[in-house]
Structure 1
């Protein structure tokens, strides 16, 4: 009996930590603004249109509704295709239209907002977060520690606080920075489910492509 209770708790905890299949649009606690370091993405996706010599640094990955207890709603119903007007609006925010369509279907549909309103919210979220001058495409050092990247973002965003973002790595390479925002786009402390995922020591920051 004790074994089955332990197994149930492990499964329940695991379920809470991951994505939900669908969910109720608008029922979530905060947003994560995910900013992808494009040169790292292009190391493994050189043929993607994002990587055609555009010289991107941080680009929008997405604005994601999240649960405070961990996990997030995903692919909420109803699913609807974006109109031409919505695609044009989103194309000014996302590095590719393919990413725009994916992000709307997986995350935007769970925001409780119509497509244009979600894209305007995303645009506003991008305006909240200042990219540090040291992490602009032409200025980046070849390596930094994750804590140094966090410190640079706090320096450029004084209201961010000590627990308002997470640095994400793939191996020893910078992948993303994720910033926690309230539903009205104020800086918010990240719960334990949103935390830095980098090894100790220097991490590589690939140069622009």
Structure 2
């Protein structure tokens, strides 16, 4: 996770907060179908996109079977509230810790397992000031805000890439994104995640602390998605 954990004791009061505007893929408020759930008590979000084949290879027998039995490429790891320095996690909440399976299954098209959805809610969603449903809807809005470059949709073979090249591809595919607002992370010699910084209104923004922790390898591998 980007940054270093905050030393402040963070207690989040959960409520469903609906914003007056929605910036979903460039839509105006009148064009969007519903208001954007707007979090509070933090400075910005990090949308973490995981390269699923790297996760499955790195975790091996410990990887989620639900995730790794499917032909995923980039999937949502989570939507993380951040401070300019550090981040909150595992906040107090009036919402239950367990996400109902019926609710979780409605988001399996972007988050690859029910277990991951529950963990992301407890660790990160509980710190957003949102209900479970609104946190997951905000996660979907963040996912829809970002266009995955065509070359990373579902490559059929293992490739070696420069992490800066991956960043540049995302910046080119997403007007308004800058290389100061995105970080590629590595695990060993594997590209593991792309982390993108967004305001609470889902606008691209810079994030110095996140960007500073980007992968510094000259080249890293991206395993192929399942056929």
TM value normalised by structure 1: 0.84
1:6 — aligned with what? none
- Give the distance between the partners of 1:150 and 1:103, measured in 2 at CA: 24
* Contact map agreement 1:17 1:193 (CA 8 A) in 2: no
| TM-score normalised according to structure 2 size | 0.78
Aligned to 1:94: 111
Q: Which residue of 2 aligns with 1:17?
A: 4
| Structure 1 ranges of 4+ moved more than 4 A | 19-22
Larger gyration radius, structure 1 or structure 2: 1
C-alpha RMSD of the superposition: 2.0
Unaligned runs of 5+ in 2: 13-39
Partner of 1:29: 43
1:183 to 197, 200, 215: 200
- What is residue 57 of structure 2 aligned with on the other side? 43
Cα displacement (A) at 1:142: 0.5
> Mapping of 1:65-76 within 5 angstroms?
65-68=81-84, 70-76=85-91
Contact 1:57 1:208 in 2 (8 A): yes
Aligned match of 2:71 in 30, 55, 79? 55
Unaligned runs of 5+ in 1: 1-15
Give the structure 2 partner of residue 130 of structure 1.
147
Higher helix share: 1
